Amino acid sequence: MSDSSEELSSESSCIPYSEHPEWADVQPLEQNDGPDAVVRIAYSNKFKDVYGYFRAIFVSKEISQRALDLTADALDLNPANYTVWHHRRHLLKELGSDLEAELDYCREIIEQHPKNYQVWLHRQVLIEWTQNPVKELRLTEIVLSQDAKNYHAWQHRQWVMKKFKLFDQELEYVERLLEEDIRNNSAWNQRFFVISHLHEKLDGSPLDRELKFTMTAIEKVPGNESSWNYLCGSMEKCEDHVKVETRQKVREFCNNLLQSLKDEKPPVYILATLVDVNKADNFDTDNTVQLCEDLASQHDVIRKEYWSYMKRSIQMVKMAA
């Protein structure tokens, strides 16, 4: 925020706009909810004052530094107000304002309200204008260190990476996140996002790397749904000529993992993945039917009807063969 914005914000917190001599030429506009408002919101006097003047400058289309400063006070009271953010961008452009200073102001709001969609959208527009994403990955890292599942931060990070082709170091970042929390589904999703943009299809060493990485993660925590989803996604993304071979590797992995668990109750995901790869290859039909029965009756009863359907479809294929 500019020095003048900070001074005005500090001053207006004590003195109403209606008592500012420099605003004497403006007639504030009250909010009009109509005569039959169902629920009238009990706005504070300060809120009524600030937004009364904001509506006035919005309607009059005033382009001035004081109008820009006023939007900062309005956003301080309601940082999710889309109209104020939109008008602020309009004023920034018309005034030719310092966008680096605006980025600093925007970061301050993000630090205070990291789950506010409007401020992230504002920042995206600023980056579009400046074409300078140099601070964005670090900013999102800081936000995600405080909340690893902040959807808006992930969305902004992905937008920046895709827009400016910033994929080079991202796998290392994702791996650090997964070392801290192997169940971080947002990090798994980010890994798939990166792989999908680096490789149209998986084959050769990239495929081997992803299978090895994911299988190692599953061995550490066999009941982690995110890593199983990633494994299934990797199978879907691999080249057609290696799909059968890849499913065989996954089949062997699942069977070995089941053996290592011995008498422990196996996670649903092992059995479900075995059903999927066996069904895709029409492999070991009798055992696959039994897996469906076990899932329906013991391991995944909530999806009993689904597994019963899978059992019938496998049996129908066997009969038709």
Give residue 41's pLDDT band: very low, low, confident or very high (50, 70, 90): confident
Asked if residue 206 lies in contact with residue 244, where contact means CB atoms within 8 angstroms, the answer is no
pTM higher than 0.85, yes or no?
Answer: yes
Average pLDDT value for residue range 172-201: 97
Give residue 13's pLDDT band: very low, low, confident or very high (50, 70, 90): low
pLDDT value of position 37: 73
Residue 212 annotated among the catalytic residues of the structure = no
**Alpha carbons 291 and 307: distance in angstroms, whole number:** 9
224-247: pLDDT as tens digits: 999 999 999 999 999 999 999 999
What b/e sequence results for 171-210 when a residue is b if at least 16 CB atoms lie within 10 Å of its CB, and e otherwise? bebbeebbeeebebbbbbbbbbbbbeeebeebbeebbeeb
- 1-131 in CATH: which number? 1.25.40.120
48, 115, 249, 279: which is the annotated catalytic residue? 115
Does residue 5 register a pLDDT over 60? no
Average pLDDT, rounded, for the chain: 93
